[in-house]
Amino acid sequence: MVFSLYIVLCLAPQLLLGVKSSMVTLSDNGYDGIVIAINPSVPEDEKLIQNIKEMVLDASTYLFNATKRRVYFRNVSILIPMTWKSKPEYLMPKQESYEQADVVVAEPYLKFGDDPYTLQYGQCGQKGQYIHLTPKFLLTDPLPIYGPRGKVFVHEWAHLRWGVFDEYNTDQPFYVSRRNTMEATRCSTNITGIHVVLKACQRGTCDIRPCERDPHSGLYEAKCTFIPEKSQTAKESIMFMQNFKSVAEFCTAETHNTEAPNLHNKMCHSRSTWDIIMASDDFQNVSPMADARPPAPTTFSLLRSKQRTVCLVLDKSGSMDTDDRLILMNQAAELYLIQIIEKGSLVGMVTFDAAAKIQNNLTLITGDNAYQSITENLPERAGGGTSICDGLKAGFRVITGSHQSTSGSEIILLTDGEDTTMGLCFEEVKQSGAIIHTIALGPSAAKELETLAQMTGGYSFYIHKDTTGLIDAFSRISSRSGSILHQAVQVESKAFNISGSKWMNGTVPVDSTIGNDTFFVVTWTIQKPEIFLQDPKGKKYKTSDFKEDKLNIRSTRLRIPGIAESGTWIYSLLNNHINSQLLTVTVTTRARSPTTLPVIATAHMSQNTAHYPSLAIVYARVSQGFLPVLGINVTAIIENENGHKVKLDLWDNGAGADTVKNDGIYSRYFKDYHGNGRYSLKVRAHARKNTARLHLKQHHNKAMYIPGYVENGTIVANPFKPEVAHNVLHPGEGGDVNRVVSGGAFIVSGVPANSAAPAPVFPPIKITDLEAKFKGDRIHLSWTAPGNNLDEGKGNRYVLRISKHFQDLQAGFDKAALVNTSSLTPKEAGSEEVFEFKPECFTIENGTKFHFAIKAINDANLTSEISNIAQATKFTPPRKPNLGTSAAAMGVAVWGLAVFVSLF
């Protein structure tokens, strides 16, 4: 069966739900439910709250006018951390949390940069994850560099809510236009300015010189900077430089610059920002407000985070006897209580079958005795029916019975059974304000579980028979407060089927960002194995060092005293039984010190539901603080209800599903559907010694750092942006890094019932990184091989075309001159392709400019979309000027400009 990739990708945003549980809604032209959360590490400062309010109030008016009277911010919640003092005006949060916030206020990691940006790595038109603002941006005057805070907020809101991208490009700030002029990458071209090199500034003044041409690209040299005129008349565009007084609109089809080599044109097929915004869900049923008066000012709610309160609601019905589910549940619940839940949390437990029973009221987790009082009540026997609502209601009673509010409290609901009456308590659940995390165990678990999680902002998980799956799910449910230093990190989670009387050996790396509160846990299915463990310095632990609880849940653990040694830990397991049995090894830990954030991994699918044959995207993010970690081998394991597993290597190469190269977001298309129903996602991230490295380059999708302005013939320069350190930082001090994380569940429908039905065949992915340059009189091209079926396998052939005019390729690819590529055999997807040729049919002289575009064709004769259009210019630098003329004098003669530094 053959499908059109273009149709599938265009329909996907309308058919599928976004995965992030933002609470924002739009009704009667007003946005409600926006959450701005302050990180617990930010010092208490009343001015911070006041400036947030002023920013949003200004942004609401600006947004209303920019969207032609369509939308504004009606109400916003500011979530204040528990580290700040309590005040009477602070209200209790419901499902608002730092982790699910739309905007986070936090210090940049390693104090690197204060540019406001949006974490956005989806496709065009898909929502971002969050906006990050730093306290410095909110507390100091941003006007000279970014413009008014309200305008900056609207710039970032467009990233977050509508999935548009920046219209500038710091990696390629200039291009040669169709009029053969050198232009700054921008939208619109009506923004005016000059091109100069700002040299070192001393005593309040800076030297300047004209920009020189790079002999390889023909473009301006890397140090060349576009300095805009202070006084502008252009009304667009907010996604380029929102800081100008005149700029009040987004680029439309009439003003959009399709030539600009920016991320927006790359991701959105050169459609204008306004076209993408108008195609979003927000604007499908929204008309401009008819009332001539402006909308009412934004209202604010001040919420203060509460002590973490969690109630386990665990199924012990008769079906839990199947496949050792009761034992697996108890193993995972015990691990959660001992190793995952943060100290200082309140935890209770309910078990249910046809009726519910409160096993523990809320208990403050302070040490071993606290969790033992709960674990000793884990159910030992299964039996009876399934009443999920009774379990949830008992969970609410546990919370309120200890004088806590259900608002903002969490319930972890685990069940393997169906319950036809489950929907009857949905309204009560909504009114409670509680967050419900659901774990579906086995294929018969109630189909409403995912709905329950999504409507309350919780996680949803599915576990088939994967022995480690339940442990992975519980390990993912950590605090949502933003205090990463106290959250558990899962380093390993493996299962081995070991033959009788056989050994199994393995290793676990503990890097230098982690090591506090480290546990090694071993489980078995028949008989406890012999265990040997050795730390990197040779210290040995044996079976007797591991602690086994009295619950007979086939689990034993070792807590490493103090801080676990960094390096490679070696373990050996001996199956003492004559028969094969399944053994598992799980390792959890926390940050090594309060001053070093741990490397963490998170994972999710691009949507919660998928309808065959539409595509989903697997995303994994590896980071330390807000900085991306590169050089990681990331593998996704996706399992369906029948136990069929698919392994998928994720890439951070800027091709196909991956938006930007080297941003710490590893992604890949998923299309290997095997049946309908629930699928689970698990991700393993691993890096060998010295391969993991921090990426210190500033994020994409951010407000531009303006270097200065031309005002009355004078350049008024802003302070130079801090230089990026060139040394490579290795998280974990260069040791191996290993992380395992659950990415939750998603649901697939529409897969043909006939198991013999052929898998869908898609065209190769679009090539988005085509680059071109002259080498003498030859053209050197490079790009990433797209594959045969999307980003898998090897394509059949390429179609490469050349033109002297950009618009010829953009509007009529098939009519442009064809380049002979018969000598080019496509490589495996993800490989670098290189091709050189001499354009025989064209005269080449100094200043000759060519444009190139390429398509890939697969074995089924399906053709990819046209690539990005690459440009190469033949340029021979002129002779150097007479040495008697100083560079500084030439700069003054050419430009006649004085330069001052703006101090603020």
Q: What is the DSSP letter of 791?
A: T
Per-position DSSP letters for 692-757, written without gaps between them: -EE--SPPSSB-----EEEETTEEEEPPPPPPPP-SPP-GGGGS-EEEEEEEEEEEEE---S-TTS
Separation between Cα atoms, residue 451 and residue 144, nearest integer Å: 47
Q: Which residue has the tokens 């998170």?
A: 602
Separation between Cα atoms, residue 469 and residue 331, nearest integer Å: 11
Q: Which residues contact 533 (CB under 8 A, 6 or more apart)?
A: 520, 540, 541, 542, 545, 558, 569, 570, 571, 572
Residue pair 630/697 in contact by the 8 Å Cβ criterion: no
Total count of residues recorded for the chain: 904
* Biggest alpha carbon–alpha carbon distance for the chain: 98
Backbone angles phi, psi at 845, to 5 degrees: -145, 175
Q: Is 843 exposed, middle or buried (0-12, 13-18, 19+ CB in 10 A)?
A: exposed
- Assigned token pair, 843: 């005269």
CA 12 and chain centroid, separation: 19
The SS3 assignment for 330 reads helix
Let me know if 156 is a catalytic residue: yes
Separation between Cα atoms, residue 581 and residue 520, nearest integer Å: 19
Residue 707: CB atoms within 10 A of its CB come to 18
Separation between Cα atoms, residue 64 and residue 162, nearest integer Å: 15
Closest CA to 703 of 238, 39, 94, 96: 238
Residue pair 449/415 in contact by the 8 Å Cβ criterion: yes
Residue 416: CB atoms within 10 A of its CB come to 25
- Assigned token pair, 526: 């028949």
Closest CA to 530 of 490, 581, 467, 567: 581
Separation between Cα atoms, residue 783 and residue 826, nearest integer Å: 11
- Assigned token pair, 860: 């089924």
Catalytic residue among 44, 89, 99, 156: 156
β-sheet with 832-837: strand ranges across: 771-775, 778-784, 832-837
Residue 579: CB atoms within 10 A of its CB come to 11
Per-position DSSP letters for 214-277, written without gaps between them: PTTTSSB-TT-EEEEBSS----B-TTT-TTSSS--B---TTT--TT--SHHHHHTTT--HHHHH
Residue pair 437/412 in contact by the 8 Å Cβ criterion: yes
3-state helix, strand, coil in the chain (%, to 5): 20, 35, 45
Beta bridge partners of 118: 131
Per-position DSSP letters for 602-633, written without gaps between them: EEEESBSEEETT--EEEEEEEEETTEEEES-E
Per-position DSSP letters for 152-180, written without gaps between them: HHHHHHHHHHH----S--SSS-EEE-TTS
Residue pair 493/586 in contact by the 8 Å Cβ criterion: yes
Residue pair 793/810 in contact by the 8 Å Cβ criterion: no
Assign residue 285 a region (left: φ > 0; alpha: ψ between -120 and 50; beta: otherwise). alpha
Closest CA to 374 of 363, 383, 384, 366: 363
Residues labelled catalytic: 156
